Structure 1
Amino acid sequence: MTEDRTETQVVVVGAGPVGLMLAGELRLAGADVVVLEKLTAPTTESRASTLHARTMEILDSRGLLDRLGEVPSEPRGHFGGIPLDLRLPSPWPGQWKVPQTRLEELLGEWASGLGAEIRRGHELTGLTVTGDHAEAVARTPDGTTVSLRAKCVVGCDGENSTVRRLGGFDFPGTDATRELLRADVAGIDIPDRRFQRLAGGLAIAARRPDGVTRVMVHEFGARPSGGQPSFQDVADTWKRVTGEDIGGGTPLWVNSFGDASRQVTHYRDYRLLLAGDAAHQQMPIGGQALNLGLQDAVNLGWKLAAQVAERGPDGLLDSYHDERHPVARRVLSNIRTQALLLLGGPEVDAVREVLAELTPRENVRTHLAGMISGLDVRHDVGPGRHPLLGRRLPPRPLTTPDGPTTGARLLRSGRGVLLVPSGDGAARSLRETAAPWSALVDTVDVVLPPHATAEDSAALLVRPDGHVAWAGGAADDASGLRTALLRWFGAPKAPAASVPTPSKTPAASAQVPDTATAKKRRTDMGRLTGRTALVTGASRGMGRATAIRLAQEGALVAVHYATGREAAEDVVAVIEKDGGRAFTVQAVLGVDGDVHRLFLGLEEGLRERTGSTDLDILVNNAGVMGGVKPEETTPEKFDELYRVNAKAPFFLIQRALKNMPDGGRIINITSGLTRVANPDEIAYAMTKGAVDQLALHFAKHLGPRNITINSVAPGITRNDNPVFGIPEAVEQMAALSAFNRVGEPEDVADVVAFLAGDEARWITGSFVDATGGTLLG
């Protein structure tokens, strides 16, 4: 019996490296995702351990390499057991040794940190596809059944994929005719062997730093057993092939893999998709299977996110099959060749000798190394002759007006990137062409080095997966750029409200800002262009001023209110009148379901205006004052203060992190009362003290994602309290400030705007005194 139903945008089945990579990519692009994994805990088996250059580049483009720490590398690999130098132009040439367990841990932390929900112990048992959704049914560890409704389901569940079986995908190919037995064994001391061909078979042995030896063995002519081998099977075969006895060792892991070779005919069937070994089965030679699957996920993620957000152009999701199917077909072909060279008997020796003579030749070596590493992949992205078209953006250093960077760093947001040579005559035209897509594509000026070639001087449109989708440079290339933007990013969304066009009537002319105001707006706007912000409690006071200020900087602002709808709409009207963009979102905080309701409205508003649900800036401003003496504070009032002032900000942050890209900003409005005493606000000050702790502790948690979080503490700031209409009272309050005046909401808004911008990237976990010197004593 179904006890639970979850609504999401994408269900990913399988929490191995491919499923977790895909989940992270989907969240990076703003899609909601739930991952189902039948295992109750991550596997301790490191089946694969090799990452190739292209995969390392992809991990760098997501900011994940630093988290891996020191990674051993090996410049030499092999082709069918024949040594092969894998070094090609890349920051990470050769192959890199990362145990699959560590890779899964890394990708799991990344995907979860971005907001992916990973449900372990959930085994897929049923799939239903209708015209408007796909429904996955899973069995939980306690035997209950859960149902998940999504727009799409992706099988990343390995060569025995349940999604592939239930979805009825055709999976043609050949079964295994040979197999390699494999075991990790402790307590043995045997020589290391690298693809040693002996009279009776192939033997491989490598001792790890922890003393465990991985052995792999194939006996020439032996057929697959068809079942899970025992350690005794491995030890017996090893002794027949090498003459060595490893039977006294302690097996930590035993398995086998054969040379089966299969590939589904289509990677997509309407709302069902496959990636990794669910889409293709091959012998895991040289780590190519793992790398192939990870690259599937990166190709698919941004496209699927666009599709479920209903902003993907026609054919975008089909391009996943069109691009990745031929890549996998080629990889499967080279793996079949290698399997024959590795596991074939004496009959392949002559072929091996000829190939060993050819591989040192540079053109042969680079061809094979490019194929194995994935660096030579080129997609059909449209017309053009530029040599980079369809290829991955070379990882060369770039210089921007802000300083040196790399293509990988520019791609970490998961958005597209337009690289425009600064000073080029066509630069302005290209920037203007790309401007309507600013929510999906970052335009970056590149300073060309002296004596740059025409090829190096081209403007480049780079997809989120790092592949170049368009190259040009002349002024008349703007139409080609627009065609590429439409093909890969869809039609740009119209803004919620356009800048008003001045009328010729005298009354309307009076509404046109004067020259000084217009000049100031042109100067100030732009620091936050392309970013989105949520300001809670934005219908009045400091929240209102903050929303207006962020919009002046170019942000699209969600103006939250609890009950003051007209006041919130007035804030939006002020912003739009000044040429900015904003919309309202309503939710009463401090009640059950408050955060859920707020984000339903927020995501709907963001999706309508940007095609994405990304939230770059969160300002937790909403709150309630106490104004009650401690002896008169009731439990009900105390609970209300905590629910609105402390609990709501915590869970707003928790929820916002699912939408917030790396590099986001969180600003919490607290109070100077956490530093000075006021007996009438003890409970209120306690709640704001709790909010100060959010910045301190979340800063440590969010540092790896380059998300900053800070507290801004206003002092006495003008609001709609009647006391500010009493001159004598205002004079007394002003005397507390070093500037002998009370604060204005704009004073606080300017501090918030600074913390929301790039200039504050090195400030996090801080308490910013915005009391006008009230705390100086």
Structure 2
Amino acid sequence: MAGDYTDTQVIVVGAGPVGLLLAGELRLAGADVVVLEKLTAPTTESRASTLHARTMEILDIRGLLERLDDVPNDPAGHFGGIPLDLRLPTPYPGQWKVPQTRLEEVLGQWAADLGADVWRGHELTGLTVTPDGVVADVRTDDGTRLTVRGEYAVGCDGENSAVRRLGGFEFPGTDAERELLRADVAGIDIPARRFERLEQGLVIAARRPDGVTRVMVHEYGSAPRPGTPSFQEVADTWKRVTGEDIGSGTPQWVDSFGDASRQAADYRRGRLLLAGDAAHQQMPIGGQALNLGLQDAFNLGWKLAALLNGHGSQELLDSYHEERHAVGQAVRSNVRTQALLLLGGPEVDAVREVFAELTGHEDVRTHLAGAVSGLDVRYEAGPGDGRMLGLRAPRGAAVTGDGTTTTFALLRSGQGLLLLAPGDEGRREELRALAKPWTDRVRVATALPTDGSAGADGADGATGATGTLLIRPDGHVVWSDGPGETGLTAALERWFGPASPRTARPAARSAAPSRESRESQESHDRPTPRTSATAAAGKRRNGMERLTGRTALVTGSSRGMGRAVAGRLAQDGALVAVHYATDGAAAHEVVASIERDGGRAFAIRAELGVDGDVEGLFADLEEGLLDRTGSTDLHILVNNAGVMGATSAAEITPEHFDRIFAVNAKAPFFLIRRALRNMPDGGRIVNISSGLTRFANPDEIAYAMSKGALEQLALHFAKSLGPRNITINSVAPGITRNGNPVFDIPEAVEQMAALSAFNRVGEPEDIADVVAFLATDEARWITGSFVDATGGTLLG
């Protein structure tokens, strides 16, 4: 840890599933995040294992389901132990079995890939709210004390939340009156049981594929015991209720949970917020507690990030409490009912019989299934009476400029979505024009027509029958173009901020050094201070605007080498599309800087390496080009965005490996293929590779492999593009100043500089000059080449 103070934008306390999902959501929108977790390592206990339909939809919307691999599904759920068919119109009916440990692993890797800092072994001990932020006092596992300062803090730290306690949140409700003992036990062989009610109590037993059996038992009339029960207590209770002896088994994990029911009076107190079990406590029946918390985080993340990015309002952030507190109340109510039905003794048998009879009626079944699965949530969305208003938007087919995709894939970048109804082309163009000032925050696509019936995947939400839909980043519909409906502009302003983007302040950089494996699609580099050397390198030829009348797309150009390339191309006369993945504030600052110097630029956002990335990027790019030039021609493409590895061959995971290749090799291939539809003859393509394809570094094997694949694009595309006079080349930077703290250490810089023939490290402008040359007509006779821009590092 560098220094006693660390600055960030959001302090998230708790690295469980809720905290990790929230951290990922915030980073997806460009907010700086530090996650404090008192445990030194992820828990090995899978307290929860059930995901419901709405949570599965959320994971699909963020592209996380494929990381979970095959997930077992069971359409048969329950309500207080009474069988309940959970099948509803959704792509993911029923309940899905994902151990909490696996879910935390996936969410943790996703958040880390997006750049979230997760500090394990860091316990929150004090919390002070100031007029302009929050100050957190932290104690590390070795006793070191430090301070973290942020603009907001969010407690995702469970039922015994330190944020809730230190922040003075009221937590009214009732204490537990009943409890259910649980244990994962190896080495026992007992019959499987599903909510079996015996004379003395309730028992559940389910054997996992690994041979471990999870047992749960409640003895009628027993009161909750203080602390964690011993395995002997579980075995004794099991024997009294069933007559079976499981005491010879080996316990893997033992705990209990009661029917306590509490909820924070407020989910927000100024700069402090609560999510998950920190905000509400209820019996975790059927996994509803975990799902409720994950859905809290999904609701909160984009709203808090919008406020930090300068286009969200305090009222938008307040809507987090308004929406999720009401949902929490409803879930607590149905869970209390279930707890009574599940743990009550013979006195509830008659009530259970009535409930069982009622669930045989379809309207009752669908009502209860919607409540358990989270599919029934409807938020107040403003004026209008469209049947979809306030509900989640189902996954339906949609078409963009680059082909067919789904509404879920279009939400993957964390932006909103204006889903235009098929049919009246004039009306579609009118709505598209109204939404144009928000295209940096709202994507536009056209729904494919269907017959209007609700299929198994709930695709009726994307049909002409529902009209055009405005969909928030969390997938809920906030405006629909039904008969006589107007007010799209008002809805856009309410949920996505002012039409004219404000110049947001750059995101605060953490004073703690980021790990070198942090992935960044903004560029391979961190923000670089402009030194006297870079200023000297930045002096350009006056009057030599060699690229006037041309357009350029530079991926990952909100900082580092990408920023330098965008600035240089703009100075030479090109209109530049500044692409970014998450840091909108930085990208708009690049645009402002270019415009201050007399150039032209605009920002576009797209996450690369995910489904729908290329079509989404080009839909926004074409709109930006058409608006500014009257054409969608793209003359120059610079593939700069990339992610680092910094992981040895022995430690890299398949998921990390796939992510590196998805961004560094796959995305450039499909970007080139798509760009060729817009590129006139004589166009220029430049791929930013790396000197590591020629210089060994064992910790960057996967990265070097991906860059080697990238270089093949230049070699092979060059042959086919020659007849069109389109050139394609690879530029390989070496050690280039990138804002890493190591460049502030004179001894380290001296050692790195010694590797160069020029006895200095590279500057971003060094690379920008090479790219700018290759983008001009002067480089018309160079194609398929590997340009060594390492400053002679590869000379040996």
TM-score by length of 2: 0.70
SS of the residue corresponding to residue 125 of structure 1 reads strand
Q: Is 1:428 matched up with 2:429? A: yes
SS of the residue corresponding to residue 329 of structure 1 reads helix
SS of the residue corresponding to residue 5 of structure 2 reads strand
Q: How does 1:260-409 map to 2 (within 5 A)?
A: 260-400=260-400, 402-409=402-409
Q: Is 1:414 matched up with 2:414? A: yes
Partner in structure 1 of residue 36 of structure 2 = 36
- Please tell me whether the aligned partners of residues 649 and 691 of structure 1 are also in contact (alpha carbons under 8 angstroms): no
Deviation of the 1:149 alpha carbon:
0.7
Partner in structure 2 of residue 689 of structure 1 = 694
Partner in structure 2 of residue 92 of structure 1 = 92
Q: Is 1:485 matched up with 2:485? A: no
Partner in structure 2 of residue 133 of structure 1 = 133
Partner in structure 1 of residue 784 of structure 2 = 769
Q: How does 1:669-688 map to 2 (within 5 A)?
A: none
Structure 2 portions without partners, runs of 5+: 454-459, 504-520, 529-536, 596-600, 610-639, 647-655, 669-688, 716-727, 732-768, 788-796
Deviation of the 1:405 alpha carbon:
1.9
Deviation of the 1:404 alpha carbon:
3.0
C-alpha RMSD over aligned residues = 4.5
Structure 1 portions without partners, runs of 5+: 497-530, 584-597, 619-647, 669-683, 718-742, 752-766, 773-777
Q: C-alpha distance in 2, partners of 1:568/1:217?
A: 64
Q: C-alpha distance in 1, partners of 2:114/2:566?
A: 30
Q: C-alpha distance in 2, partners of 1:376/1:152?
A: 30
Q: C-alpha distance in 1, partners of 2:481/2:229?
A: 57
SS of the residue corresponding to residue 480 of structure 2 reads strand
Letter in 2 for 1:428: E
Q: C-alpha distance in 2, partners of 1:661/1:379?
A: 38
SS of the residue corresponding to residue 431 of structure 2 reads helix
Q: 1:403 and 1:345, CA in 2 relative to 1: closer, same or farther beyond 3 A?
A: same
Deviation of the 1:248 alpha carbon:
1.0
Q: 1:533 and 1:106, CA in 2 relative to 1: closer, same or farther beyond 3 A?
A: closer
Deviation of the 1:394 alpha carbon:
1.1
SS of the residue corresponding to residue 427 of structure 1 reads helix
Q: 1:486 and 1:243, CA in 2 relative to 1: closer, same or farther beyond 3 A?
A: same
- Please tell me whether the aligned partners of residues 18 and 156 of structure 1 are also in contact (alpha carbons under 8 angstroms): yes
- Please tell me whether the aligned partners of residues 557 and 587 of structure 2 are also in contact (alpha carbons under 8 angstroms): no
Q: Which moved more, 1:40-49 or 1:453-462?
A: 453-462
Partner in structure 2 of residue 471 of structure 1 = 480
Q: 1:193 and 1:771, CA in 2 relative to 1: closer, same or farther beyond 3 A?
A: closer
Cα deviation 1:350-386 (Å, max 9, x = unaligned): 1001111111110010000000000111000111111
Q: 1:9 and 1:237, CA in 2 relative to 1: closer, same or farther beyond 3 A?
A: same
Partner in structure 1 of residue 683 of structure 2 = none
Deviation of the 1:310 alpha carbon:
2.4
Deviation of the 1:420 alpha carbon:
1.3
Cα deviation 1:463-497 (Å, max 9, x = unaligned): 110111111167x85x511111100110133598x
For the pair shown, the structure with the greater C-alpha radius of gyration is 1
Q: 1:325 and 1:617, CA in 2 relative to 1: closer, same or farther beyond 3 A?
A: closer
Cα deviation 1:481-526 (Å, max 9, x = unaligned): 1111100110133598xxxxxxxxxxxxxxxxxxxxxxxxxxxxxx
Q: Is 1:145 matched up with 2:145? A: yes
- Please tell me whether the aligned partners of residues 178 and 222 of structure 1 are also in contact (alpha carbons under 8 angstroms): yes
Partner in structure 1 of residue 775 of structure 2 = 749
Q: C-alpha distance in 2, partners of 1:343/1:60?
A: 35
Cα deviation 1:656-700 (Å, max 9, x = unaligned): x9xx999867899xxxxxxxxxxxxxxx99677349999973387
Partner in structure 2 of residue 526 of structure 1 = none
- Please tell me whether the aligned partners of residues 699 and 708 of structure 1 are also in contact (alpha carbons under 8 angstroms): no
Q: Is 1:446 matched up with 2:451? A: no
Q: Is 1:461 matched up with 2:465? A: no
Deviation of the 1:87 alpha carbon:
0.6
Cα deviation 1:404-424 (Å, max 9, x = unaligned): 321111111111111113552
Q: C-alpha distance in 1, partners of 2:261/2:83?
A: 24
Deviation of the 1:770 alpha carbon:
3.9
SS of the residue corresponding to residue 285 of structure 2 reads coil
Cα deviation 1:714-734 (Å, max 9, x = unaligned): 8899xxxxxxxxxxxxxxxxx
Q: 1:614 and 1:317, CA in 2 relative to 1: closer, same or farther beyond 3 A?
A: same
Deviation of the 1:345 alpha carbon:
0.9
Q: How does 1:214-253 map to 2 (within 5 A)?
A: 214-253=214-253
- Please tell me whether the aligned partners of residues 14 and 35 of structure 2 are also in contact (alpha carbons under 8 angstroms): yes
- Please tell me whether the aligned partners of residues 139 and 145 of structure 2 are also in contact (alpha carbons under 8 angstroms): yes
Q: 1:405 and 1:240, CA in 2 relative to 1: closer, same or farther beyond 3 A?
A: same
Q: C-alpha distance in 2, partners of 1:128/1:545?
A: 54
Cα deviation 1:185-239 (Å, max 9, x = unaligned): 1111111111111111111111111111111111111111122111111111111
Letter in 1 for 2:469: L
- Please tell me whether the aligned partners of residues 18 and 294 of structure 2 are also in contact (alpha carbons under 8 angstroms): yes
Partner in structure 2 of residue 54 of structure 1 = 54
Deviation of the 1:36 alpha carbon:
0.5
Aligned residues between the structures: 626
Partner in structure 1 of residue 154 of structure 2 = 154
Letter in 2 for 1:389: L
Letter in 2 for 1:491: P
Deviation of the 1:303 alpha carbon:
0.4
Q: 1:262 and 1:57, CA in 2 relative to 1: closer, same or farther beyond 3 A?
A: same
Q: C-alpha distance in 2, partners of 1:546/1:47?
A: 63
Q: C-alpha distance in 2, partners of 1:716/1:107?
A: 34
Q: 1:338 and 1:449, CA in 2 relative to 1: closer, same or farther beyond 3 A?
A: closer
Letter in 2 for 1:27: R
Q: Is 1:698 matched up with 2:713? A: no
Deviation of the 1:749 alpha carbon:
3.3
SS of the residue corresponding to residue 456 of structure 1 reads helix
Deviation of the 1:747 alpha carbon:
8.1
Identity between Structure 1 and Structure 2 (%):
56
Letter in 2 for 1:120: R
Q: C-alpha distance in 2, partners of 1:715/1:405?
A: 31
- Please tell me whether the aligned partners of residues 125 and 137 of structure 1 are also in contact (alpha carbons under 8 angstroms): yes
Q: C-alpha distance in 2, partners of 1:114/1:710?
A: 27
- Please tell me whether the aligned partners of residues 663 and 708 of structure 1 are also in contact (alpha carbons under 8 angstroms): no
TM-score by length of 1: 0.72
Letter in 1 for 2:248: G
Q: C-alpha distance in 1, partners of 2:707/2:411?
A: 19
SS of the residue corresponding to residue 286 of structure 1 reads helix
